[in-house]
Chain A
């Protein structure tokens, strides 16, 4: 199965700071999805098909990548963005998730 490695595992950012987190796949995938999860709640689809922002998602979020390297970027960190972000692929069975990047506000 394809292993997704997210980095960093934990990061913190100040309000207004640009944030970038990455997801590296053990084999090439065609697209990547990203989920946002806040403590005690279910994950939410946040970015899908590599770069499409889910409905209601702030425009400061963007996704990019191809092959084995994907990233999620926040152009200007806000307090409400503090959460854990997971990447997920289903180019190959079984679908797999990364272990998450926990983003904290400074």
Chain B
């Protein structure tokens, strides 16, 4: 069955970077894109970016200067990296598979990230 499993730190210091790995199973990254979304009490659900099946990426303009998404198709892994985190980047970060209708049909379990010194 389709699964997305996330791994990453729960605590990040201000100005440091956040790295999360999304390991997928039940489908191929060469056939599906993977989105990244975050959820915080203050801003709700925010779309951050997507890596398409062919490897190209699109980013939310608000994060383009400090966000990078890449993948390793052979390992079924997608890599998310955001730089220069601040307190207001505290949120739950999700990866999700993009379906044919540009929705997210399967989601990872989420990575709760707190930015604090």
Contacts and interface: CB of A to CB of B under 8 A. Distances in A.
B110 A42 contact: yes
Nearest to B98: A90
B107 A42 contact: yes
Interface in A15-54: 31, 33, 35, 42-45, 48-49, 52, 54
A79 to B, nearest CB: 23
Interface of A is mostly: loop
Contacts of B99: 45, 48
Given A31-B101, A48-B99, A96 B47 contact: yes
Nearest to B48: A94
A45 B103 contact: yes
A48 B103 contact: yes
A63 B27 CA distance: 28
Nearest to B106: A45
A54 B37 CA distance: 20
Contacts of A43: 45, 94, 104, 107
Of the listed residues A90, A93, A94, A100, the one surrounded by the most CB atoms of chain B closer than 10 A to its CB is A94
Contacts of A71: none
A98 B35 CA distance: 17
Interface in B74-117: 94, 99, 101-110
Interface of B is mostly: strand
Nearest to B92: A42
Contacts of A96: 47
Contacts of B105: 45, 48, 54
Contacts of B101: 31, 33, 48-49, 52
B47 A94 contact: yes
Interface of A: 31, 33, 35, 42-45, 48-49, 52, 54, 86, 88, 90, 93-100
18 contacts: A33-B102, A42-B94, A43-B45, A43-B107, A44-B107, A45-B99, A45-B105, A48-B103, A48-B105, A54-B105, A86-B45, A88-B103, A90-B102, A95-B35, A95-B47, A97-B37, A97-B44, A100-B45
